[in-house]
Each structure stands twice: as C-alpha cells, then as structure tokens.
Amino acid sequence: MSTDQVKGCETMITRRSFIGGIIGGVATFFGIEGYLKVKDETIAELLAEMYGRCGGDEIPTSDYIRWLTKVPANPERYITPDDPVVQEYARKIDIDIISEGRFGYFITPPELKFEYETDSEQFGKGDEWQMPRDYLLSGGVGDCEDYTLAIASIFEAKNFPARVVCGVVRGRKNDPDKPHAVVETVIDDYEYIMDVSWPRTILSEDKYRRRVYKWKPLAMFGKNMSYRLYHSSWDL
C-alpha cells in the first residue's frame, strides 16, 4: 500500500468504533458515521474488509461485503450534474409529487425507456459502471448502479440533494442476499427513494420498505460525499 493509502486506511479505521454483540446469531456493529449489520462476521474481519477497501488484499467475507469492496475508487466522480447531457435531461424531466411526503413520479421524455440489463448482458463482463451521460444517451439501458448514478446526477442538476446508497435485499430462507443500489433525495424537506425496479416512481422510505421490506442500506456516497458507511442523517 502507498503512504496515502495507509493514511486513508488509518483514518477510515480510527474514525469508526464498533461494538459487537450476538443476538439470535446476528452480529450487529455500530460505527460513528453509520451502522453495518452483518451475519457471521467478526470485528477483525470488518477491519480487514476496511483494509481491503483501502487497497489491501480482499478477504473471504460474505457476498455483500465482498461486493462493496468492488466499488470503484472515488465513486462520487460518477455523479455529474454539470455534464451537458445530464443538464439537458434535467430540463426535460419534470417531478410530480402526488402526495407530499409519500410518493410522486418522474415525467420523462419518451426516449428514456429504462430497460434493465445486467453488466454481463450489456458488456459481456462483470461489474461495469456507466457514466450518467452514456446511460441517458442509451435510453436508460443498464443495471441498478447505472440508474442510480444518472438519477442522482439529475436530482443534483435540479438542485435537490441526492446520494447513492449501496446495500442488500435480504433473501428468503436459503435464497442469497442480493446486492442493490438506490437513490435517496430530499424534496421540500421530505426524504424519498428511487429504485430501478420502479424507475419513474418517487417513494417515501416508509412506502419503499413496504415494497422491499428486507432492504438493508450499508454504504453511501454523493456528489460531495466520499464513500462511507450508511447513515440516515443528511447532516454529514
């Protein structure tokens, strides 16, 4: 690791303290900046995961911790509200809040179809993040990361704060946990979530969790926010 990576890793580790407790076989760890709920992990493994995220070797942790380590360096650079293409779509898209603090809709131009395709289907390889301009110019073809980066960029272009939240949808019984990403934003002092599963629907957290009741946010980043453990507060 380089000197800068070591310093960054030391900062990441020292800024978070974890308290471990096993309740019903689930270890819950609380951090200063956020929280992380993980099954069958130890404090040592979590610290090692942070080391891995800072440039060290990847360790064999659970699938959803492993996928978090694959987030590109400085992911906030993918949120590009000043890009001319993003600016154009921000002007084309209207936000219609039907019930304040509950739900609303994106009114989008017809060329923006929001067709879900995995990276392997679209690019023939593993994880590939598209820049928002490329995703929008393709008509919205891509996966959840591509969608969230573009939508967060559009919200920021419209002067609404937005952040990308990475996490997992917990599986039922023997089904595996599925990595996922959503957008969180604030409109007129109300917090909302947007998900590629319902690409034009703006939902309050309460209404979103009724649809995806096992959603577990783990990490987040934004235009001016580096990648960090998730916290519900916007005052960070």
CATH value at residue 148:
3.10.620
**99, 52: one domain:** no
**46, 81: one domain:** no
**46, 80: one domain:** no
Give the per-residue pLDDT at 162. 97
Give the per-residue pLDDT at 49. 53
Give the per-residue pLDDT at 40. 39
Give the per-residue pLDDT at 86. 98
Is residue 23 in some structural domain?
yes
Give the per-residue pLDDT at 235. 76
Low-confidence stretches of the chain (pLDDT < 70) are 1-69, 171-175, 236
Give the per-residue pLDDT at 9. 42
Domain residues for 37? 3-61
CB 53 within 8 A of CB 219: no
Gyration radius from the chain CA atoms: 18
**99, 13: one domain:** no
What are 116-167's pLDDT values in tens digits?
998 888 888 777 899 999 999 999 999 999 999 999 999 999 999 999 998 8
The Cα 189–Cα 192 span in angstroms is 10
**121, 215: one domain:** yes
Is residue 220 in some structural domain?
yes
